[in-house]
Amino acid sequence: MVILYKILRYIVIAIICLFIAFIALLVYLFVTQANIEQVNYIEGCQSDDALTVYCDFQNPEDLAALPDGRHILVSEFGAITPLSPVNVRGNLSLLDTTNGTKKNIEIEMSNNVWGDPECERENMIFSPHGIDTNQRLDGSYQLAIVNHMPTETIELFELIEINDAWSLIWRGCVDAPAHGYFNDVALKSNGSFYVSQMYDKNISLLMLAVMDTTKEDTGYVYHWTRKKGFKRLINTDGAFPNGVELSNDESNLFINYAFGNKISKYNLSSKTIEASFSMNGIPDNITIDGDYLWVGAQDYSGLDSLIYCGVFAKDIFEDPMINQCPLPFAAYHLKQSDLSLVNSYKYSNTVMGTATVALSVNGQLYFGTYHGDRIASVEISKE
């Protein structure tokens, strides 16, 4: 009995020591990876020599150009667990690029004709994340959004333009699988879509921080069709699948792996990865620009985002009213054919931080963020 007691005591001591060592390792990673030199407080809504800003948005995490070449649809992100204690409601809006003003967009409910007939929506509460637009085979324009409230769904809308004014008609939704936790969506012209499963919905913040360091696979990509539902795509597993985008001919899917620090080109016929491009930061959303891609990226580590943009931010910033995450960001311009780098543009200590998307519209590059009240733009010719 005495021997058993000693063995149990040693086991308990060993577990405690390992736990303390683990916490010490996390503290070390927080300290060593923080971009303190590249962080400044962002106050007010003033443009500078680098960027023009358009304020009064709520976390404009993803952007999509509308067919008129004038308006940008904005996904105003709320918040998701475990990065936030609870999911937070968001919104959809427009940026008029001719005058830089924000516009509301009205939503009309209708019948579920594009989604899963079993999916139901009883209210107008949305928490949008990644978005995508595409023209359907019948000529109508479709919008899909990753939505986190009241439940995890893909929401489908028809885009309507009347006299230069845009509105949305709800055309259905698709419930996520039981473990589903989505990030971004890419529409096909036949109404089906691809969606990134970033990680298990029940993961803890601590485990997410560990996975950012270990780079282990956390998710994959689904393909959904109205007839067969969700089907997991083989060879898409990776460390935090984030942004997804289809090539114009719908033969290739581009996938960002946030914790893997890379973008990959996935051939939908052979179901293989044909090319990849690695970067130091966190690739987020992808947009198509002719034969090229724009990748919006945070130019720092995932642990930095927890310090300056997440649960620890209140301990970093002296003024609790400052709600801009000021971390540096980048935009990567890549060739679709082989993901070779055309150019990269990096920003720090400016009037916006932590960009999640870069969208080219009429010679301007527009940036959105998951933690701030503004969209920013720069003339591509200046770069």
Alpha-carbon distance values, 225 to 144, 174, 220, 229, 232 (Å): 14, 10, 17, 5, 12
Listed range (38-52, 79-93, 252-266) with the worst mean pLDDT: 79-93
Helix or strand run (H / E) with residue 27: helix 2-33
Residue 98, pLDDT above cutoff 90: yes
Report in angstroms the alpha-carbon separations of 62 from 95, 128, 143, 313. Answer: 12, 9, 13, 22
The Cα–Cα gap between 115 and 111 comes to 10
Let me know if residue 288 belongs to a domain: yes
Residue 24 lies in a domain: no
In a domain, 159, yes or no: yes
CA-wise closest residue to 136 among 61, 188, 193: 188
In 3D, which of 69, 129, 61, 117 has the Cα closest to residue 97? Answer: 69
Average pLDDT over residues 317-337: 78
Cβ neighbors of 306 (< 8 A, separation 6 or more) are 30, 83, 205, 209, 312
Residue numbers of the domain that contains 47: 34-382
Find the mean pLDDT for residues 278-300. Answer: 93
Domain contains 340: yes
Judged by DSSP in three states, 182 sits in strand
Give the pLDDT confidence score for residue 224 in this predicted structure: 98
pLDDT value, residue 27: 57
Q: Does the pLDDT value for residue 321 go beyond 50?
A: no
CA 133/CA 289 separation, integer angstroms: 14
* Contact residues for 274 (Cβ-Cβ < 8 A; gap 6+): 252, 265, 266, 267
Adjacency order of strands within the sheet including 252-257 = 241-246, 252-257, 262-267, 272-278
Q: What is the dihedral of CA 161, 164, 168, 169, to 10 degrees?
A: -40
Note the pLDDT tens digit of each residue in 28-68: 555 555 454 556 678 889 999 999 999 999 999 999 999 99
Strand partners of residue 225: 229
Number of domains, the chain: 1
Strands 52-55 and 60-65: unpaired
Give the pTM: 0.88
Q: What are the CA-CA distances from residue 130 to residues 142, 200, 382 (Å)?
A: 14, 17, 28
| pLDDT-derived band at 21, boundaries 50, 70, 90 | low
What pLDDT is recorded for position 335?
98
| Lowest mean pLDDT, pick from 102-106, 114-118, 172-176, 208-212 | 208-212
Count of Cβ atoms closer than 10 Å to residue 175 Cβ: 17
Instruction: Tell me the average pLDDT across 125-152.
Output: 96
Q: What is the pLDDT of residue 18?
A: 65
- Which pLDDT value is given to residue 214? 84
pLDDT at 44 (0 to 100) = 86
Residue 312 has pLDDT above 60, yes or no: no
Say yes or no to pLDDT of 124 above 50.
yes
260, pLDDT greater than 60:
yes
Q: At what angle do helices 2-33 and 205-214 cross, to 10 degrees?
A: 70
Residue 25 lies in a domain: no
Which DSSP letter does residue 381 get? G
- CB atoms near residue 150 (< 10 Å): 14
Residue 211 pLDDT exceeds 90: no
Q: Model confidence at 308, in pLDDT bands (50, 70, 90)? A: low
Q: So what's the pLDDT on residue 22?
A: 58
DSSP 59-77: -EEEEEE-TTSSEEEEEE-
Measure the CA–CA gap between 330 and 286, rounded to whole angstroms: 12
The predicted-structure confidence for 179-193, as pLDDT tens digits, reads as follows 899 999 999 999 999
Give the mean pLDDT of 251-279.
97
Nearest partner of 26 among 247, 346, 302, judged by Cα? 302
Q: Please check whether residue 214 lies inside any domain of the structure.
A: yes
Specify if 63 maps to a domain.
Answer: yes
First vs last Cα of the chain: how many Å apart? 75
Arithmetic mean of pLDDT, 124-140? 95
Q: What pLDDT digit, counting tens, does each position of 339-369 carry?
A: 999 999 999 889 998 899 999 999 999 999 9
Looking at per-residue confidence, does 1 or 142 come out higher?
142
Residue 11 lies in a domain: no
Q: 82, exposed or middle or buried, with CB in 10 Å at 0-12, 13-18, 19+?
A: middle
CATH assignment of the domain containing 165: 2.120.10.30
Contact between residue 294 and residue 287 where contact means Cβ atoms under 8 Å apart? yes
Q: What percent of the chain has pLDDT over 70?
A: 83
At residue 320, does pLDDT exceed 50? no
Task: Indicate the pLDDT class of residue 302, thresholds 50, 70 and 90.
Answer: low
